[in-house]
Structures are given as C-alpha cells and as structure tokens.
C-alpha cells in the first residue's frame, strides 16, 4: 500500500517532478542574483576579485554540475541530443567569457566582460528551465528528481557514486541509456567503467560516436552469447 507521504497529484507542488524543477529554478535565481551583485559591485568600483572568484568558482561549478547530471542524461536520447549540443555550445561561450573576466586588467574591463556573461547566462538558464527540464520530465528512463538530487549534491560540494560496473540487464530498455551516459559524464580522462548487458549494445555505441566522437573508448571484454561486457572509457588527455 502506498503511504500517505507518497500520495500526490501529478502537476501540483507535491509532484516530485514539479518540486525538482522548482529546485533548479531556485538555484538559477541564486546564481543570477549572485552574479548581478558582484558585477554591480565591480562596476561601482568595488572589488574585482569578488567577481572573478564568483565566476571562476560558483558559476563554473554550476556549469560543471549541470553537465554531469542533466546534460549527461539528455545527451543519450535522440529527442534531446541536439538540445544538449546547443546548450553545451552556450556553456562553452560562457566559459570563454569567464576567462575574459578572470584576465581583465582593471575593474572596468572585468565589469564589461561580466555583462556579457550575464546576458549569455540568462538565455542559457532560461532555455534549461523552459525546454530542457520539461524534456527530461518526459524522457523515458530519465528520473528528473534523482538527476536534480545529484545536481544538488554536486553544488553543495558532495560527490556522486562512481560504480566500476554498471549492470543494466534488469533495467527496462528505454531506461538504460540515460543511466549509462550519466555514469560516463562522471569519468575523469583516462577512467572507465564496465557495462554489463544481455545483448551487443551496438545502438549505444552509435550514440556514443554521435555525442562523444573521439572522446570515448569502447573495448569488448566479453561478447556473448548471453552476456556482453564492454569497458567504456573517457579518452585520456594527450600531453
């Protein structure tokens, strides 16, 4: 029997998906407000170091946490792959603007770079709120409340579990790929994990080749007839 604490009406504030979306929007609001505050302080002749610290610290930490959770899950589905590609493009643009903030020679230059960061960030976060989150809520296999819980863990300085083996044999087919891509996103360059499946995961390999070309490794450890084991890794950084 379902306990009273688990009963909710879909689409209301008690719905776990609605609550998860609210958590992300609240995090976005704090990020926007924090950036606006330090940017205004620098424009008024305040501490440039506070602006640099916020952009290179909290803002970059948020971008990285979103990549490891929300983007990782959405990148493994055909319906959201192009959306994630677009979001990663704007995230890369933000990263370049953050470098400009950090490298600015004076408060005026830093404040000007920060205004670019604010403009791009606002569009970026709005797209996540209005397009990505609803898409993840409808994506088979993507558990949005769990993804947002992982995002919150990272933003609070925690760490996510990194199992060495991901066995998907008991997971419904439509729910496998988001979990696998989420695990891949947690790898450091040169690291890997072993995927255990009950068939040759050729479709998954094609998705990796489409979303992470030249950035992943794929090595069969066991090839059937009942069990397939594949070591999936993140390519090591040269040099």
The residue assigned the tokens 């050729």 is 202
What domains can be seen in the chain, in order of their start residue? 4-154 (no CATH), 161-234 (3.30.110.40)
CB under 8 Å to 190, separation ≥6 — which residues? 233, 234, 235, 236, 237
pLDDT at 5: 42
110, two tokens? 């830093």
CB under 8 Å to 228, separation ≥6 — which residues? 195, 196, 197, 198, 199, 200, 201, 220, 222
DSSP string, the chain: ---GGG---TTSTTSHHHHHHHHHHHHHHHHHHHHHHHHHHHHTT--HHHHHHIIIIIIHHHHHHHIIIIIHHHHTSHHHHHHHHHHHHHHHHHHHHHHHHHH-SSHHHHHHHHHHHHHHHHHHHHHIIIIIHHHHHHSTT--HHHHHHHHHHHHTT------SEEE-TTS-GGGHHHHHHHHHHTPPTT-EEEEEESS--HHHHHHHHHHSTTTEEEEEEEE-SS-EEEEEEEPPPP-
In contact, 184 and 234? CB cutoff 8 Å: yes
209, two tokens? 């080749």
In contact, 87 and 132? CB cutoff 8 Å: yes
Over the chain (239 residues), what is each successive 10-residue block's mean pLDDT?
44 79 97 95 83 96 94 81 94 97 93 96 98 89 84 92 91 81 83 95 90 88 95 79
Q: Tell me whether strands 192-197 and 165-167 are parallel, antiparallel or unpaired.
A: parallel
Nearest to 69 by CA among 118, 116, 11, 23: 23
């Amino acid at each position: 029997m379902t306990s009273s604490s688990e009963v909710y009406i879909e689409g209301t504030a008690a719905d776990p998906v609605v609550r998860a979306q609210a958590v992300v929007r609240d995090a976005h609001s704090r990020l926007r407000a924090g950036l606006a505050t330090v940017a205004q302080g620098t424009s008024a002749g305040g501490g440039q170091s506070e602006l640099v610290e916020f952009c290179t610290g909290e803002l970059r930490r948020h971008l990285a946490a979103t990549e490891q959770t929300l983007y990782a899950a959405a990148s493994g589905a055909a319906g959201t792959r192009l959306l994630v590609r677009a979001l990663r493009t704007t995230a890369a643009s933000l990263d370049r603007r953050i470098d400009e903030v950090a490298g600015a020679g004076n408060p005026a230059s830093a404040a000007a770079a920060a205004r670019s960061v604010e403009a791009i960030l606002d569009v970026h976060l709005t797209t996540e709120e209005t397009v990505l989150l609803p898409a993840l809520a409808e994506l088979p296999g993507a558990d949005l409340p769990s993804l947002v819980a992982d995002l919150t863990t990272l933003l609070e300085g925690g760490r996510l579990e990194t199992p060495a083996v991901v066995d998907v044999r008991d997971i419904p087919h439509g729910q496998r790929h988001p979990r696998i891509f989420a695990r891949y996103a947690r790898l450091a360059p040169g690291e890997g994990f072993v995927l255990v499946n009950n068939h040759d995961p050729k479709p998954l390999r094609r998705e990796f080749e489409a979303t992470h070309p030249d950035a992943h490794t794929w090595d069969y450890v066991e090839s059937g007839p009942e069990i397939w084991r594949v070591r999936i890794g993140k390519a090591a950084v040269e040099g």
